[in-house]
Amino acid sequence: MQETIGTAALLLSFAVIIASIKLKVHLSLSIFLGAVVLYGAYGFGLFGAGTGIVDSLKARDSVRLLALILLVIFMSRLMKVAGTLEKISDSLKKAFSDARVSYGTIPAIIGLLPMPAGALISAQMVNKAADELERSAEERTFVNYWFRHVWEFSWPFYQGVILTAVTLGILVRDVVLMMFPITVLSIMVGYYFGIRPVRRVGDGKKDTGALKEFVKVLWPIWFVIAVSIGMGVDLVYGLVVTDILLMLVYRLDREKMGIALKESLNYGIFLIILAIIVFKGALEYTGAVEALPAFMSLHGIPEMLAVVVLPMLVGIMSGITVAFVGISFPILLPILVPGGVVSPPMVALAYLSGFIGVLFSPLHLCLVFSTEYFKADLGRVYRRLYIPLMTLFLLGAGYSMMLYLF
């Protein structure tokens, strides 16, 4: 009974968020209302809900998330005032004589760096190419968002991939090899729906030296990857050092640094981050997320359906890869590792389903910030996401079933 009530409360909370968004209520307020409904459904009074909200906002992980996002935004603004973003887009266009290359490649490159709201960095670079290609705000959001995440199925530095390996008791390499074909499928789907329909813009003259320039001007990204991934330094410190180096290398004066700082203090984005922290805190404080898998287990949901639905729903509700892996995979272990032997088809299907849910989630920071940056309509963005996500799911499910043959 408790599991049923908890699941109903969770779905009601999510319905409030979706309805508020459709009514054009600001996203931060929509998410906050969802948290309030969740607290109320679980019988928390004003004091209890207030305590939960304060605790979630002052938690170390919340402060770290806020610091990371602000540092990422500041880094992107410093690159903008230094002229780096324009050079990156121009060099790629000259190297391939096709603005479409910059349009799709840049977010994919930024996607190699696991960081919250990394789409904010690529959004500014994508914008210039998108202007030349005359793309709408929703088309820009789709391409930036989609290609930013093509690696998250199999790039070994993403926490979801690492946690999957640890949970299943296998090597990270095994997860990478298992999931890499879905990364390829994701790139193909993104190309088909986001790049293929766009007319080519370029003079036909390729400049081989421009590719070297592209690699060179991307040094801030390579530096963060080398420090945070290669050397294992905390991403917060890596970003702080990178921001300082950007100011020193490009000798930015007070005026330019002031512009970068002012543009970084976007109150709309700041409120959205706080609202997401509050909602995720409500999920943990009330124990609502745990009610969903308990409900499915109690009612004997079929194995294949559980492998698809449970990770996907947790992904939609949380907007975070490690959440669907950390919450649903331990519950699904008897299906994912039957008799102590890993089942690649089931693992691939579970991870695919969960990440489809993450990409569809209105709580996903990259979707939120891409939409906010390009000033796109979230409803129209979702309409652009439906068919590509469904296509990727069907192709990925087909691949997972093929694994039964090997």
User: Above 70 in pLDDT, residue 97?
Assistant: no
* Cα–Cα distances in angstroms (integers) from residue 115 to residues 61, 108, 121, in the given order: 14, 13, 10
Q: In a 3-state reduction of DSSP, which class is residue 160?
A: helix
Determine contact, residues 3/295, Cβ cutoff 8 Å. Answer: yes
Q: What number of other Cβ atoms are within 10 A of residue 172's Cβ?
A: 17
74 Cβ neighbours under 8 A, 6+ residues apart: 243, 260, 261, 264
pLDDT in tens, 199-246: 876 555 666 677 788 778 888 878 887 887 677 777 788 888 988 998
Determine contact, residues 62/277, Cβ cutoff 8 Å. Answer: yes
User: Above 80 in pLDDT, residue 256?
Assistant: yes
Tokens representing 352 are 């695919």
Query: Per mean pLDDT, which range of 27-31, 125-129, 231-235 is the poorest?
Result: 231-235
Between 137-148 and 119-133, two packed helices, what is the crossing angle to 10 degrees?
130
Residue 305 identity: L
Determine contact, residues 247/54, Cβ cutoff 8 Å. Answer: no
What is the Cα–Cα distance from 368 to 358, expressed in whole angstroms?
12
Q: Let me know if 251 is exposed, middle or buried by CB neighbors in 10 A (0-12, 13-18, 19+).
A: exposed
Query: Per mean pLDDT, which range of 113-122, 238-247, 316-325, 379-388 is the poorest?
Result: 113-122
Residue 103 identity: Y
- Residue written as token pair 């745990």: 290
User: Above 70 in pLDDT, residue 115?
Assistant: no
pLDDT at 312 (0 to 100): 92
Determine contact, residues 244/237, Cβ cutoff 8 Å. Answer: no
pLDDT at 116 (0 to 100): 65
Residue % of the chain over a pLDDT of 70:
92
Output the CA torsion sign for 215, 217, 223, 224.
Answer: negative
User: Above 60 in pLDDT, residue 271?
Assistant: yes
- The average confidence (pLDDT) of the chain is 83
3-state helix, strand, coil in the chain (%, to 5): 80, 0, 20
Angle at 392 between CA 390 and CA 393, to 5 degrees: 65
pTM of the model: 0.73
pLDDT in tens, 168-186: 888 878 888 899 999 999 9
Which of 282, 276, 281 shows the shortest CA–CA distance to 367? 276
* Cα–Cα distances in angstroms (integers) from residue 48 to residues 33, 39, 280, in the given order: 16, 8, 16
Query: Per mean pLDDT, which range of 140-149, 234-243, 389-398 is the poorest?
Result: 234-243
| Kind and range of the H or E run holding 342 | none
Angle at 242 between CA 236 and CA 245, to 5 degrees: 145
